Structures are given as C-alpha cells and as structure tokens.
C-alpha cells in the first residue's frame, strides 16, 4: 500500500509508481468519487475515456429529440398567439 500526505494547500503527491502505472502526467484531470465511506481517485486519461465511451448510448438521437421539442414549442407558441391574438 502506498501512502502520501496532504500539504497545507490541500495538495496531494501521487507516488511515482502509481503515476507511471496509470499514465498520470502533469495536467491530467483527476475525479474524486465519494462512495459510502471511501474516496475513489480516478484519473481521466485517454484510456479511461475510451473505456467509458458508449456507456450512455441510447437508441434515441439527441438531435431528433431536440427537433421534436422545438416543434412542440413552436406549436405551443402558435396556439398561444391564436388564443390571445398577436400584439
């Protein structure tokens, strides 16, 4: 088990062996995930992004959903204008 200390500025030094193993380089974004009584430390690397890509895949196209929503908004606006008259 590797250990590290948090500095007075809240900074944490990741041990070199772990940085090399997980491809953590200067500028790598790190996500801290709270789970029960644990804190998970997840580097956001190209490999991580490749692994999670497609996890939230849906059969519905977001573009199609937005177009449908826009059409509903337009219908509501036209109905409102007819009901209250254009000003």
- Per residue in 18-62, pLDDT (tens digit) is 999 988 889 888 888 898 999 988 888 777 666 666 666 667 777
pLDDT in the model for residue 52: 65
Say whether pLDDT at 2 is over 90. Answer: no
Interatomic CA distance for residues 71 and 75, integer angstroms = 6
pLDDT in the model for residue 51: 67
pLDDT in the model for residue 15: 93
pTM: 0.50
Interatomic CA distance for residues 73 and 22, integer angstroms = 47
pLDDT in tens, 70-82: 999 999 888 888 8
Interatomic CA distance for residues 4 and 13, integer angstroms = 6
């Amino acid at each position: 088990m590797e250990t590290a200390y948090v500095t007075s500025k809240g900074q944490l030094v990741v041990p070199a062996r772990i940085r090399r193993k997980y491809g953590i380089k200067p500028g790598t974004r790190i996500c801290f995930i709270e789970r029960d009584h644990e804190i998970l430390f997840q580097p956001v690397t190209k490999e991580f992004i490749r692994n999670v890509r497609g996890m939230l895949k849906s059969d519905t196209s977001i573009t199609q959903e937005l177009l449908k929503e826009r059409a509903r908004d337009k219908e509501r606006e036209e109905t409102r204008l007819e009901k209250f008259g254009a000003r």
